[in-house]
Every structure is written in structure tokens, then in C-alpha cells.
Amino acid sequence: MELSTRDRALLTALEGGLPLVARPYAALGERLGLSEGEVIAALRRLTESGVVKRFGVVVRHHELGYRANAMVVWDVPDDRIAEAGARLSALPFVTLCYRRPRRLPDWPYSLFCMIHGRERAAVEALADEATAKAELSGLPRATLFSQRRFKQRGARYGARDAEGRGRWTISTAA
Amino acid sequence: MDDLDRGLINALQDGIPICERPFAEAAMRFGLTEQEVADRIAALREAGFLSRFGPMYDAVRLGGGLTLAAMAVPEERFDEVAATVDAFPEVAHNYARDHALNMWFVLATETPERIGQAIAEIEEATGLDVLDLPKEEEFFLSLRLEA
């Protein structure tokens, strides 16, 4: 969808998150010279169109005690990826699931998912369970635990530059 | 963080209502005022349990580029290369992982074309190859964790 000047102003105003007051959309509107109703209508439209993909709480998993997070990957034949992806995404402990390109010879894997847990052994058991339930047993697989986090930052939608383009960056699992 | 905070986080991970009084439902459920709900969220954010309370944007629908990138970094160069990579404003997060490809980061750029340029610049700055692994299909997205 084409973003209006108003949409861009709203996304920029939300960069720091929703104001933490009882009527946050009225507070946002006040800053932008919009009514509460106009802010709500614009945000609903941006959410329905998918520009805003989630509107909620984003937790820092490490701080919540999820010290073990693994990227689990399989080399799935192309004609089986869609079905395997659907099976994986139905599992409650799988938080993200993507098809990505292989980069041979270094990286033969085509299906990715993320599994978060409080303990490494528990995540390994879940990776085994995911493999079995998605019918991926016997296929090449790797489980990559995160060791250190260097950079994690919130999504930003900054001020517009000289050309009028909104400058933005985003934090999400790509 | 107490049980009430955990309950609030779990309730709001499914989404913040977009309506005049978005905290009213949670306030009623947990026996708080709306302002108390808002204050607890502010305190959780302050304490670092939440990285965000609000929208996550879809980079591609905003006209931008997004990819997952991986590098195989020699152990003795790891900190130096991490600093170089993190200095790029387009690098959204960066994790060390236990694999020959041991550095994994998300690149989010203003335009799709900028992804290739940023990768070339990172390769130039580090002397190492960068694998570009953009998503081709998404099967799910709900990063929900019980607090």
C-alpha cells in the first residue's frame, strides 16, 4: 500500500513505542494534530494491510530466562518444503519458520525454524520432536544455539531525510 | 517481576487492542486500573524485560529490504569483526552461533537494492564472505513466550 504523509508521521511518532497512558491513541493524536479516531483508523488500516505486522509486546527472551535459543535447519527436498513448513508452524514451541535459499557448498539447508527454551537440553529435545512431527527424520539437520548476543535493538522509523523518504530500520527475525 | 507482570506480558503478547481504551480489558481481568496497567508495562520496559511495546513494521511492505546473513569468522577475529558488523546502522541484531558459520545477523535496509551494497561493504570491511539468506516463504510468525 502507498503510505500517506499522515501514515509516515504516525509510524515515526510510534518509534519509541505506544505512550503508556490510559488513552494512548488520544495522546499520540495530540502530538500529531489528529483526533483519537483518526489515529485508531489509520493504525487499523496499517495493521490490516500488513505494514504493521504485529502490534503488541516484544519480550527480551534472554531477560525472561529463555537462555537457550536455537535456529534449527534441515535440508528438505524442494517438493516437500511446503508441507514440512506447515507441519512445523503448527507446533506451539516453533516461533518462526521460513524457507530460505541453500548456499552450496557451505550451507545446504532450506527450511529454518526458531525454538526458544530455558534449557539447552530441553531445546534439543524439542528439535528432535519437531523433526519427527514434520516427518524430517533422516534428512541433514543442524541445530545452531546462540552463544552471545551482540546487538538487539527495537524497530525504528525515524525522521524523514532530505528527499522526504522515511528513514527506518527494523528489528525482527528476518 | 511478579505473577501479575507475567500475566500481563502473556495477555499483551497476542496484541494490543487498537481502540479508545486498549488497557481496559487487561485492567478488568487483573483487577487494576488502566493507568496501573500502563505503569507496570513502563516499569517492565525500564527493567529490560520488554524491548518494545507497540508496532513491529514489515520492512518489505515499507519499501525496504530485509535479510538474514551469515559469516564464518576466525575465532581470534570474532570481537573485531562483530564490532565492524555492528557499526553498520542496517544491522538489526547479531548473534554468535555454534557452527562453522558462527556469526548471524539481520540486515534491514531502506531499499531492497541496499541489501546487496551493505553486504558488499561488510565483505570489503572484514575481508570475509557474507552469505545472504533472504526468506523465500514464511510459514508462521508469532514470537510468543510464556513469561
Asked whether residue A127 is assigned to any structural domain, the reply reads: yes
Indicate which CATH number applies to the domain containing B12: 1.10.10
Confirm whether B17 is domain-assigned: yes
The upper half-sphere exposure of residue A103, i.e. CA atoms within 13 Å in the direction of its Cβ, equals 14
Which residues of chain A lie closer than 8 angstroms to B133, CB-CB?
100-101, 103, 107
A vs B: CB pairs below 8 A: 262
Q: What are phi and psi of B69, to 5 degrees?
A: -125, 150
How many Å apart are CA A60 and CA B2, to the nearest integer?
A: 16
Cα B29 to Cα B7: distance, rounded to the nearest angstrom: 10
Domain co-membership, B76 together with B124:
yes
The reply to whether residue A151 touches residue B14, judged by beta carbons under 8 angstroms, is no
Between B51 and A27, residue with greater pLDDT: A27
First to last CA, chain B: 10
A76 lies in some domain = yes
**What pLDDT was estimated at residue A153?**
52
- Domain assignment of residue B18, yes or no: yes
What total of structural domains would you count in chain B? Answer: 2
Shared-domain flag, residues A132 and A86: yes
Q: Are strands B50-57 and A52-59 parallel, antiparallel or unpaired?
A: antiparallel
Q: Whole domain around residue A49: which residue ranges?
A: 5-58
In a domain, B139, yes or no: no
* pTM given for the model: 0.76
**With an 8 Å Cβ cutoff, is A94 touching chain B?**
yes
Residues A44 and A75 in one domain: no
Q: Residue B144: what pLDDT?
A: 53
Say whether residue A55 is in contact with chain B using an 8 A CB cutoff.
yes
Q: Where are the beta strands (DSSP E) in A44-170?
A: 52-59, 68-74, 94-99, 111-117, 141-152, 156-160, 166-169
Instruction: Out of A5-14, B48-57, B83-92, pick the least confident.
Output: B48-57
Q: Which DSSP symbol is given to A74? A: E
Task: Report the alpha-carbon distance of residue B84 to residue A98 in Å, rounded.
Answer: 28
- The total number of structural domains that make up chain A: 2
pLDDT at B106 over 50: yes
pLDDT tens for chain A, residues 1 to 174:
678 889 989 988 997 789 999 999 999 999 999 999 999 999 999 999 888 887 888 777 777 777 888 999 999 999 999 999 999 998 888 888 999 999 999 999 999 999 988 899 999 999 999 999 999 999 999 999 988 766 655 434 443 333 333 333 333 333
Distance from the Cα of residue A18 to its chain's centroid = 18
- Phi first, then psi: what are they for B80, rounded to 5°? -65, -45
B1-43, pLDDT tens digit by residue? Answer: 889 999 998 888 778 899 999 999 999 999 999 999 999 999 9
**Chain B residue with minimum CA distance to A165:** B110
A136 by DSSP, 3-state: which?
coil
- For residues B10-21, one letter each, b for 16 or more C-beta atoms within 10 angstroms of the residue's C-beta and e for the rest, the string is ebbbeebbbeee
